[in-house]
């Protein structure tokens, strides 16, 4: 008798819920750029000083993601995601009451940062436990939620700011996170043995080879772990720099052409939204392509396109040129992140997948914390982003070079 398989597989629900949670959490995070100018106008802070909140947030998120991964490995994702939703929602609500810069750093940087740490690492680690045969595609679908959120939430925040003020925008976003993330988190669970056995060969988890199923301590002793971590550092450095500053850069460019400030603000936000919208396709495509041609080739193509997009920005002086940047950036900017969880699973197994992924993620976010701050400082000193664009192109090129040395560990200690 042929093996009976279930028509409905709960793994699809996991993917859908993970994408929705990612959209809500990171759509809010990616809205920081639209708050940048209102905060500067309200308090007279410099761009570098205001961007420091992103740096603090990224550092906190990266470091705490290691703990979130470990807790998710041990207790499952539901508890971790519930606490994260509470922290993010409460953090944005409290941001609506800030009056001092230290308050903004403490709430947006630290509190929201801790909450964000418990989102993508537990979610993508959960997905690779539900899917093996199409691991890349499913992680791409989960990551596409971030693109959808970035496409929707920043324009919403912009509209609220224009119609009301930035405090109301923080309040609305915070309430949305508090209710939606904590609510959807209750449906997250790990696959049971019965579910896996009834799922069929397209979904079954492969039995780990104990000789290649690394613990965290074993993984960090391999050259592969460090090469992968540094490569992710260069990628997130460049991506976060542009996601933080592309809105205000576009506003500056349009202002120099005497465009009405409200029109310029809307157009600048649409550039960010265009990149986010295209990234939905880019994330899914990266996952699907990696399943067919391999992760290394997929990452190489993505980093190459990303480097070219930054060079293009040096010459982009018209709005249509910025939209073209948004398309290329959207396709390539999240290529590495979309296949990172499957790559960690392929190289190090599932035994300590969450904590290893969290540690690699920390190194990447370390780059993401430095990038926006350094980009803001460069502008404050030079009144131009050109040097920052060149730096971002150089970082992604370095990532391509590091990729050539990235190899699967041949044993426990390489």
DSSP string, 388-405: HHHHHHHHHHHHHHHHTT
Alpha-helical regions (H) of 256-352? 261-293, 295-313, 319-332, 335-348
* Biggest CA-to-CA distance, the chain: 74
Q: How far is CA 185 from CA 9, 25, 80, in A?
A: 18, 12, 9
pLDDT of residue 212: 66
The verdict on residue 262 lying in a domain is yes
Phi, psi (rounded to 5 degrees) for 324 = -65, -40
Q: What is the C-alpha separation between 393 and 329, in angstroms, rounded?
A: 12
Q: Is residue 156 part of a domain?
A: yes
Q: Model confidence over 305-349: pLDDT tens digits? A: 999 999 999 998 888 999 999 999 989 988 888 788 888 888 888
pLDDT value of position 260: 80
CA 402-57-314 angle, to 5 degrees, is: 55
In a domain, 146, yes or no: yes
Task: Answer whether residue 200 is part of any domain.
Answer: no
Q: How far apart are the first and last CA of the chain?
A: 45
Separation of alpha carbons 342 and 59, rounded Å = 24
Q: If the chain, 414 residues long, is cut into consecutive pieces of 10 residues, what is the mean pLDDT of each piece? A: 57 90 90 86 84 83 86 86 94 92 91 91 84 76 83 88 91 94 90 56 45 79 91 92 86 82 81 83 84 84 94 90 92 84 83 84 85 88 91 94 84 43
Q: Which class for 23: exposed (0-12), middle (13-18), buried (19 or more C-beta within 10 A)?
A: buried
137 domain residue, yes or no: yes
The reported pLDDT for the residue numbered 211 is 44
Overall number of domains in the chain: 1
CATH number at residue 164: 1.20.1250.20
Question: In sequence order, which residues have a C-beta less than 8 Å from that of residue 57 and are 6 or more positions away?
Answer: 29, 108, 109, 110, 112, 113, 116, 369
pLDDT given for residue 285 in this prediction: 86
Other C-beta atoms within 10 Å of 317: how many?
Answer: 11
CA distance 94 to 273: 26
What is residue 52's three-state secondary structure?
A: helix
Q: CA 377 to CA 90: how far, in whole Å?
A: 30
Residue 227: Cβ-neighbour burial (10 angstroms; 0-12, 13-18, 19+): middle
Using one digit for the tens of pLDDT, what is the confidence trace for 5-45?
456 778 889 999 999 999 999 889 888 878 888 988 888 88
Q: How many CA atoms lie within 13 A of 308 on its CB side?
A: 12
Residue 399 included in any domain: yes
Neighbour-count burial for 1-19, b at 16+ CB within 10 Å, e otherwise: eeeeeeeebebeebbebbb
Residue 157 lies in domain: 11-183+214-403
206 inside domain = no
The answer as to whether 275 is a domain residue is yes
What pTM was estimated for this model as a whole? 0.74
pLDDT at 203: 45
């Amino acid at each position: 008798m042929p093996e009976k398989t279930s028509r409905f597989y709960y793994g699809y629900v996991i993917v859908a819920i993970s994408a929705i949670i990612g959209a809500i959490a990171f759509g809010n995070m990616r809205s920081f750029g639209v708050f940048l100018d209102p905060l500067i106008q309200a308090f007279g802070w410099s761009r570098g000083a205001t961007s420091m909140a992103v740096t603090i947030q990224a550092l906190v998120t990266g470091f705490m993601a290691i703990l979130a991964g470990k807790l998710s490995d041990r207790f499952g994702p539901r508890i971790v995601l519930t606490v994260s939703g509470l922290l993010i929602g409460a953090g944005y609500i409290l941001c609506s009451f800030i009056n001092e810069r230290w308050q903004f750093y403490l709430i947006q940087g630290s509190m929201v940062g801790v909450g964000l740490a418990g989102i993508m690492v537990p979610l993508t680690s959960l997905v690779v436990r539900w899917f093996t045969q199409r691991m890349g595609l499913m992680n791409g679908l989960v990551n596409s939620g971030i693109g959808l959120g970035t496409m929707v939430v920043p324009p919403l925040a912009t509209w609220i700011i224009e119609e009301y003020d930035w405090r109301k925008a923080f309040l609305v976003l915070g309430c949305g996170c508090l209710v939606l993330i904590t609510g959807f988190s209750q449906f997250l669970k790990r696959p049971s043995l019965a579910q896996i056995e009834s799922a069929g060969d397209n979904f079954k988890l492969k039995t780990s080879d104990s000789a290649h199923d690394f613990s965290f301590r074993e993984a960090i002793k391999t050259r592969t772990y460090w090469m992968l971590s540094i490569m992710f550092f260069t990628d997130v450095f460049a991506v976060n720099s542009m996601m933080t500053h592309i809105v205000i850069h576009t506003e500056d460019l349009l202002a120099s052409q005497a465009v009405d400030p409200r029109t310029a603000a809307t157009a600048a936000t649409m550039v960010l939204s265009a990149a986010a919208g295209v990234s939905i396709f880019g994330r899914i495509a990266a996952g699907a392509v990696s399943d067919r041609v391999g992760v290394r080739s997929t990452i190489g193509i993505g980093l190459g396109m990303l480097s070219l997009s930054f060079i293009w920005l040096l010459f982009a002086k018209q709005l249509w040129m910025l939209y073209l940047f948004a398309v290329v950036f959207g396709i390539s900017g999240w290529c590495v992140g979309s296949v990172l969880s499957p790559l960690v699973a392929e190289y190090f197994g599932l035994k300590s997948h969450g904590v290893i992924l969290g540690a690699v993620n920390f190194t990447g976010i370390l780059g993401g914390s430095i990038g926006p701050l350094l980009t803001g400082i460069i502008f404050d000193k030079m009144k131009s982003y050109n040097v920052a664009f060149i730096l971002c192109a150089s970082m992604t090129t370095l990532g391509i070079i590091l990729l050539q040395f990235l190899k699967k560990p041949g044993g426990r200690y390489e």
